[in-house]
Amino acid sequence: MDRDFLLKTETAKVLYHDYAAKMPIIDYHCHVDPREIFEDRRFENIYQVWLEGDHYKWRVMRSNGVEERYITGDAPEREKFQKFAEALPKAIGNPMYHWCHLELRTYFGYEGVLNGDTAQEVWDLSVKKLAEPDMGVRGILRQSNVAMVGTTDDPTSDLAWHKRIADDPTISTVVAPSFRPDKALNIEKPGWAGFLSELGWVSGVEVKDLDSLEGALGQRMSAFDAAGCRAADHGLDYVPFRPAERGQADAIMKKALAGQGVTPEEAEQFKTALLLFCVRRYASLDWVMQIHYNCMRNPNSAMFARLGPDSGFDCMNNVNCAGALYALLDALYADDALPRTILYSLNPGENELLDTMIGAFQGPGIPGRLQHGSAWWFNDNKTGMRDQLTSLANLGLLGNFIGMLTDSRSFLSYTRHAYFRRILCELVGGWIENGEYPANLEQAGALIEDICYRNAKRYFQL
């Protein structure tokens, strides 16, 4: 993992070092806490900045048979880090191995290899380095050259930390909220009615029917827009599209509010009505819409009952909802209500499907109006990134791609952008040296810079 890590050809090395590496980072989808940015959180040790909320690392530890008390339990932080360090050498071929060592070198200057025997020296080094003045959250953002962070926020958020960040001239990174209304759509899931009560309290709109629900969500969208929101994000198990008359969707909602169960078909009808309302509003606000789908969430019912959601047990799904996604895009396009849209499937077998789908709904005036989102979650490894980039290049315009995101809760994850950029430069460099693209480094370098930064800057109107 030297200076030319993953860069096999001379052209790839030039593209990375002279063009990609210097570009700022636009991390348009992540899960970091804006409060920690405003408060400039300090970390005492590497566990707090590395393992505290990282599902990827938790899965590595579970796969090595580590007891849960060393992962999410009450074991001492130093012992938790030791268990991870002992598991890491077995992660050959896993991007976690590369990410960890890129982070250790970039932020801590550690040139060795992390394992059970070196855990103590890495721990001691982290304690020393994290005490330095520029190793708070704001310092990490500055040295990582992060121009923009797009957080993921519930509609009921008061956005107080975003407002404080926007009013603080010492914070140079743009920190934009993203509207995530999943709880409003999930009519069939526990907690839906409780969420509507909270939404009503925050918005000042009593939610009792479809009209008032749309009113409450619309009020929150206006508040998000005033706070600098540039995007909405939907995390869907699958894409629903089962249109119904408005009165029918309203009756389904009232039935659920009365405590009566809804059928899967009724749930889809309600979700379709509310999703169409939301997306049309995004278009009017000139927001980007992101749709993440085909994730199986919380399949391990025993661990879900023990730890709750977002604890590292989700996996890929294989729901065929291509017809529904086509129908959704078609209905919006026909009404001139299709916003800039990024589509991500957690199933990598849908790369070609998405690349041909976005090509059917591109429109004038916005290069790359529809995007096949960056290789996401379980796909942001070397193979997954190469496959996504190659498919997009084969079937679309790679030069209009808006590039990488972290989808992370860690402030050290910005090395994933460097990882992506190395893979991108190696791929493009190989095509050039194979005679498949002109050996014009100025032209190719500009394309690399666009993908790494400028396309996203334009797309999110920064």
pLDDT tier, 305 (very low <50, low <70, confident <90, very high otherwise): very high
Helix H or strand E segment including 336 = none
**Residue 153 has what DSSP assignment?**
B
Q: What is the mean pLDDT of residues 326-349?
A: 97
Could you tell me what percent of the chain has a pLDDT over 90?
Answer: 97
pLDDT digits (tens, 9 = 90+) for 98-130: 999 999 999 999 999 999 999 999 999 999 999
**Confidence band for 274, pLDDT divided at 50, 70 and 90:** very high
Predicted pLDDT of residue 53: 85
Query: Residue 459: what pLDDT?
Result: 97
Question: Taking 90 as the threshold, does the pLDDT of residue 91 lie above it?
Answer: yes
pLDDT for res 232: 98
The pLDDT score that the predictor gives to residue 371 is 98
The structure tokens listed for 165 are: 């960040």
Q: What is the mean pLDDT of residues 54-83?
A: 96
pLDDT grade for 295, boundaries at 50, 70 and 90: very high
Q: What angle do CA 447, 448, 451 make, to 5 degrees?
A: 90
Model confidence at 1, pLDDT cuts 50, 70, 90, reads: confident
Q: What is the pLDDT of residues 381-422, one digit of tens each?
A: 999 999 999 999 999 999 999 999 999 989 999 999 999 999
For 44-90, the DSSP string reads: SSHHHHHTTT-HHHHHHHHHTT--GGGTTSSS-HHHHHHHHHHHGGG
**Is 385:428 a contact under the CB 8 Å cutoff?**
no
The C-alpha atoms of residue 230 and residue 206 are separated, in whole angstroms, by 27
Q: Is the pTM of this model over 0.75?
A: yes
Model pLDDT, residue 34:
97
Segment 421-430, tens digit of pLDDT:
999 999 999 9
Q: What pLDDT does residue 365 have?
A: 85
